Amino acid sequence: MPTNIVWFRDDLRLADNPALQAAVKGGHAIIPVYIHAPDEEGKWAPGRASNAWRDRSLRELDAALRARGSRLRIFFGPTLRTLQSLVATAGADAVFWNRRYEPAVEERDTAIKKALRGEGLRAESYNGALLYEPWELQTRQGDPYQMFTPFWKTVLSQWREPKLSDAPESLVANEQGPAGVALEDLKLAPALDWDAGFWQRFTPGEAGARTALKTFSAAALADYRVGRDVPAIHGTSRLSPHLHFGEISPGRLAVELQRARNPGNTASVDGYIRELGWREFSYHLLHHFPKTPDENLNPRFRNFDWAQAVPSEVKAWQHGITGIPIVDAGMRELWQTGWMHNRVRMLVASFLTKNMRVDWSHGARWFWDTLVDADLANNTQGWQWTAGTAPTPLRTFACSTRSYKRSDSIRGALTCGVGCPNWRTCRMRRCSRRGSIPVP
């Protein structure tokens, strides 16, 4: 019987999985594979919190495969050599996977596809992570978008209903070839139980993602448009780690929320789908501007005069002992749960970049290691947007008190009063400031 290899990565689910669907088409036997090769991800190998989540998600994926007559084979890299060995020993005819968009991974995957096809194999990749591929949308001039609003308008004008597919009821297994290693051999789970608080809030895996969606739809969705801005309540979906690890697809989220739409929650459904659009936009930027995880997208900030980071002050920010209650609460929530409310993420990022004047890359690295939903596209875009280093519409002001400096580039009234004695009454409405500053 023809055999296909399904290479799992950040698509740890069986439903709505185009690579899996293609591999089992026609009743083919499959070999599900996960290959651990963090050194192939460049400067952004997964952090510790991500690894803790991945350990549990892989365990859930293996259980789901076993329930259908198959199992997940786990290997250490190098990836290409591992796939070639499996093909040779198991007699596989093809390798299927779903695409990733991180710059180092894209480059690696392109080389793998070229090598496998050069050996006469069928090597196919699919879109299992996004509603639209990053190269599908462009401006009228044929350029990539750099502003969200025109990007989202284009998405809405070209909206197509996402296609869903159920998980296969059974799978034909091929047990030939190397058995692989035990999941424990990857050492993804922490030696000490510092992640115990994570699992009081989250349940990794495809089933956990479906439960989280049902909980959100039944409770917080009705008031999401307002509740998402209030950190003190459970007003968000908390689906971001499930999305990052591909335990649920954005297409299923969009479809299920559309099905849950009623006259009372229309604004909230539209608001949540727009947040999916922000995720799409982040991947669009990452693909077209692959240096943004390490460089400012906005050229005006490439020589910005950041303050010298003081290790003790950065550590105080990291561990929530700055003395600013909302900042400390957010950073302690992150340490305890591996997650932080999005509005609080903006606050703590603003405090680091605008009050402490520390380069945003310090914060991006800390989030990368401590967030269970550490996603390179969203993490990069969130930090650059908050720090003002992503392109932003400009409005010109000239401050009558002359208490601003050119470097005090800020967004909105929350922190615009740094150094200005009149900011509470001014609110940027009567400013006649000389120079330009970003505004919401």
- pLDDT tens-digit series, residues 36-78: 999 999 999 999 999 999 999 999 999 999 999 999 999 999 9
Task: Return the ∠ at Cα 55 (arms to 54 and 56), rounded to 5°.
Answer: 90
Asked if the model's pLDDT at residue 12 lies above 70, the reply is: yes
Percent of the chain past pLDDT 70, that is, above it, reads 89
Q: Which domains does the chain have, with CATH numbers?
A: 3-128 (3.40.50.620), 130-166+205-289 (1.25.40.80), 299-387 (1.10.579.10), 393-440 (no CATH)
3-state secondary structure of 436: strand
Asked if the model's pLDDT at residue 310 lies above 90, the reply is: yes
Nearest to 363 by CA among 373, 377, 344, 350: 350
Percent of the chain past pLDDT 90, that is, above it, reads 85
Q: Render pLDDT for 154-211 as a digit per residue (tens, 0 to 9).
A: 999 999 999 999 999 999 999 999 999 999 999 999 999 999 999 999 999 999 999 9
Task: Return the ∠ at Cα 174 (arms to 64 and 120), rounded to 5°.
Answer: 115
CB half-sphere exposure, 214, CA atoms < 13 A: 6
Asked if the model's pLDDT at residue 284 lies above 90, the reply is: yes
State residue 331's pLDDT score. Answer: 98
The DSSP letter of residue 243 is H
What is the rounded distance in angstroms from the CA atom of residue 331 to the CA atom of residue 343?
12
Which of the four pLDDT bands, split at 50, 70 and 90, describes residue 301?
confident
- What is the reported pTM? 0.88
State residue 400's pLDDT score. Answer: 46
Residues 298 and 388: beta-carbon distance below 8 Å: yes
H-only helix segments in 119-188: 148-157
Residues 377 and 244: beta-carbon distance below 8 Å: no
Which of 65-69, 251-255, 409-413 shows the lowest mean pLDDT across its residues?
Answer: 409-413
Which of the four pLDDT bands, split at 50, 70 and 90, describes residue 309?
very high
Which of the four pLDDT bands, split at 50, 70 and 90, describes residue 389?
confident
Asked if the model's pLDDT at residue 414 lies above 90, the reply is: no
Residue with tokens 């297409």: 251
Classify the C-alpha dihedral 209-212-218-224 as positive or negative.
negative
State residue 249's pLDDT score. Answer: 98
Q: What does the DSSP assignment read for 184-200?
A: GGG--S-SS-TTGGGGG
What is the rounded distance in angstroms from the CA atom of residue 116 to the CA atom of residue 7?
13
What is the rounded distance in angstroms from the CA atom of residue 195 to the CA atom of residue 199?
7
